[in-house]
Amino acid sequence: MKKIAILISGRGTNMQAIVDARLPHEICGVISNNPNAAGLHFAKSRNINTCVVNHRDYPDRESFDEALGNAIAALQPDLVVLAGFMRILTVGLTTRFAGKMINIHPSLLPAFRGLDTHERAIGGGVKLHGCTVHFVTPNLDEGPIIAQAALCVRPNDTPQTLAERVLVLEHEILPKTVAWVLDGHCTMEANHVTLDPSIIDDSFSFQR
């Protein structure tokens, strides 16, 4: 059984989706930079090991990432999942877990890297929006893409309604992607992702 470490900063709904998916792998710990993250309570209710590495306790990003990296390494995970972890990671940390760390981002990358993705999507007049799971690399939201899920932007969508609709896709695509990586159906070489064609499921790739 392989082990998953999940990093959160808030509600942790994507972490909950992974837990509820009942994957044949162990969630060895949930780590947050926010001691008040609501997701920590959910993890504890499921008897999952939790840990807080509060970024406010460290003088700079490098020292925080060193402590965070040590907390992750102590869990000995096969995969690190950033599930709403709202910190920009240093080169040192992303290199330390290269090829073993994935992130879910609320846009169809490479469009709308960074924050406020739903507001920017509406402001840009795009017709399709969604979410992306990708490997984490030193450049923000530029890692090799594993999978994406999309929906149509409705004329009456607001950033809030669009965020809620995209979140439904996130909850479906992230557990599947975690399983693909841990079960060996997804590989990365020279910054290029290859998926086993036998496991690709188009059912979550588009919603009207």
Q: Do 21 and 33 meet the contact criterion of CB atoms below 8 Å apart?
A: no
Looking up tokens 């999952």, which residue turns up?
A: 48
- Between the alpha carbon of residue 63 and those of residues 10, 50, 79, 88, the distances in Å are 22, 21, 22, 13
Amino acid type, 51:
C
Report d(CA 179, CA 147) in Å as an integer.
Answer: 12
Annotated catalytic residue within 25, 41, 55, 105: 105
Q: Is 41 a catalytic residue?
A: no
Please name the residues in contact with 64: beta carbons below 8 A apart, sequence gap of 6 or more.
33, 53, 55, 57, 58, 87
Which residues are marked as active site?
Answer: 105
